[in-house]
Amino acid sequence: KQEVTQIPAALSVPEGENLVLNCSFTDSAIYNLQWFRQDPGKGLTSLLLIQSSQREQTSGRLNASLDKSSGRSTLYIAASQPGDSATYLCAVGGGGSNYKLTFGKGTLLTVNP
């Protein structure tokens, strides 16, 4: 059974700092990996999707990497801002199909002004 772990569970940084969120998964037979942002009362927002054949994806100040063989992904946030404060969720698409997501518990990020 796929298990997804996110470290750290919580992170507090000063504004402007570059930071890395980590995600690891136990079964490397995945179709894709997705990063989401969750804000209170607003549900989940899809940030980045990396297909299993890709190594990384970038969107603005966000860069996500994928190393399937080692079962790891990182989300890099450059020049963090208070508006980046949220819970970041990693989800792995696998289990024989690309739609079946297994989620980690998330990293709660606080960016202090």
Judged by CB under 8 A, which stretch of 16-24, 68-76, 78-86, 103-111 contacts other proteins? 103-111
Per-residue x/- marks for other proteins, 48-67, CB under 8 A? -x------------------
Cα distances (Å, whole numbers) of residue 60 to 63, 79, 80: 8, 11, 12
Shortest Cβ distance from residue 75 to other proteins (Å)? 16
Size of the site for other proteins (CB under 8 A): 24
Q: Is 113 a residue that touches other proteins (CB under 8 A)? A: no
Letter string b/e over residues 5-36, b meaning 16 or more CB atoms within 10 A of that residue's CB: ebeeeebebeeeeebebebbbeeeebbbbbbb
State how far the Cα of 40 lies from the Cα of 77, in Å rounded to an integer. 20
Shortest Cβ distance from residue 16 to other proteins (Å)? 30
- With a CB cutoff of 8 Å and minimum separation 6, the contacts of 98 are 31, 32
Token pair, residue 53, equals: 């054949």
Of residues 93, 107, 109, 111, which one binds other proteins by CB under 8 A?
Answer: 93
Q: Is 24 a residue that touches other proteins (CB under 8 A)? A: no
User: Residue numbers of the site for other proteins (CB under 8 A)?
Assistant: 4, 31-32, 34, 36, 41-46, 49, 89, 91, 93, 98-106
